[in-house]
Amino acid sequence: MPATSAARVLRDEGVGSVVVTEDGHLRCLVSDRDLVVRAFAEGVDPERTAVMQAAGEDLVTVTPDDSLDRAVRLMREHAVRRLPVVDGDRPVGIIAIGDLAIERDETSALGDISAARPDT
């Protein structure tokens, strides 16, 4: 998948990241920031650059049975804002730092921002 296709999905769905799969198996997670910093800002041709080239190298995941504390710990350890939730190697969701903020303290600034409708 070219980087521009991933960028269009992000725009059209109003989300900050997407999981990329191959035959239903998780290959990577790519965010809007990944695309800008690792691809577009480097001057690569976004139509000829595979989304995998823009994705972060370290794919860190959690399972549906993992605790929120584990998710927080992994986000801190790996300095990531989003974690794919996987069942085996099949994605079933994404947990974002904003989700954790809402769960832990919905009245915090980040929780409030995360709960708001996205700008379009």
- Mapped onto helix, strand or coil, the DSSP state of residue 74 is helix
Q: Is the pTM of this model over 0.85?
A: no
1-57 topology per CATH:
CBS-domain (3.10.580)
pLDDT of residue 64: 96
Mean per-residue pLDDT pooled into runs of 10, the chain (120 residues): 92 92 91 89 88 85 94 91 93 88 59 51
How far CA 71 is from CA of 26, 47, 63, 74, 89, in Å, comes to 18, 34, 9, 5, 17
Is 60-120 a domain of CATH 3.40.640.10?
no
Per-domain residue ranges of the chain: 1-57, 60-120
